[in-house]
Amino acid sequence: MSKEVFVLALTKRGERFVFVYDRDSQEELLEDLRGLAAETACPLTGFDVAVLAGKMREQVLESEPARPAAI
């Protein structure tokens, strides 16, 4: 069985950032993104991390199978 993977991409100041992750690595990616934002040499900011984290949540929620409505 193959794992479902997700892709986040961001272009900022002419640089491209592409992150590939699966459900099991979401938290690890978030920690890595926070670490990148803390580095002064990296153009990613805390705001960028917040936007990417929101996109991660959207991607994962959209990929979940639809649940029947409760009656």
| 68 pLDDT above the threshold of 60 | yes
| 22 pLDDT above the threshold of 90 | yes
**CA 57 vs CA 14, 39, 51: distances in Å:** 26, 24, 10
Per-chain mean pLDDT for the chain: 90
Question: 3: which residues sit within 8 A by CB, 6+ positions away?
Answer: 22, 23, 24
Greater confidence, 11 or 3? Answer: 11
In the DSSP assignment, the letter for residue 23 is G
Supply the pLDDT for residue 10: 95
Token pair for residue 51? 């936007």
3-state class (DSSP) for residue 14? coil
